Amino acid sequence: MAQKATPDIKSLPDTLAAGSSPLRLGPLSLSLIVLAFIFLAGLFISHLPYPASLSPALRWAINASAAVLIFLVLYFTFRLLLSKTSGCKRLEDSALLAYNVLDSSSNPILITDAQTNIEYVNPAFCTTTGYTREELIGQKTSIMKSEKQTQEFYKDMWKSIKETGRWQGEIWDKRKNGDVYPKWLSISA
């Protein structure tokens, strides 16, 4: 069976550590960038052609107003970028925490998509079943089906999942080496 191309959640810590946020600048760097823009804007504005009838004081007021306006636009743009960056950082931290909790659990955990394709298994699941993570990701959960349950059993189980979003009970599964074993299964959809 061809494996589905899903990102391996095991690579999440490396991805996050690589710095996927769009902007990682400190306050000093941002201040220097804003000052450089103001300086360049001042150079540009001071060379604009004005009607000869404008007094020097009015020209100075126009230049100062334009510089302040440019500063405010840049300031709020950088504030917006920083707020989005810090929001991304909080989201990354939460995702990494959730990943670590799942991965370090001593209970076997398996996550699938709506079509029962396996998207994630933790190390405890691999230890229990004998499969490696690579062997399971992208496979259907039926890879571990023991054939001890009847079609009626599965029909009732899926009816319960569709009606209530959950099912819990004992089920017989098959390890990679062929051993059939009972397990208590909790499904949440």
DSSP state of 107: S
Residue 24 pLDDT > 60, yes or no?
no
State the average pLDDT over residues 79-98.
75
Q: 26 pLDDT band (50/70/90 cuts)?
A: low
Report pLDDT digits (tens) over 107-133. Answer: 999 999 989 999 999 999 999 999 999
Report pLDDT digits (tens) over 130-179. Answer: 999 999 999 999 999 999 999 999 999 999 999 999 999 999 999 999 99
Q: What does the buried/exposed string (b/e) look like for 82-97 if buried means 16 or more CB atoms within 10 Å of the residue's CB?
A: eeeeeeeeeebeeeee
**pTM of the prediction?**
0.56
Between 107 and 53, where is the model more confident?
A: 107
121: which strand partners? 110
**Average pLDDT of the residues of the chain:** 78
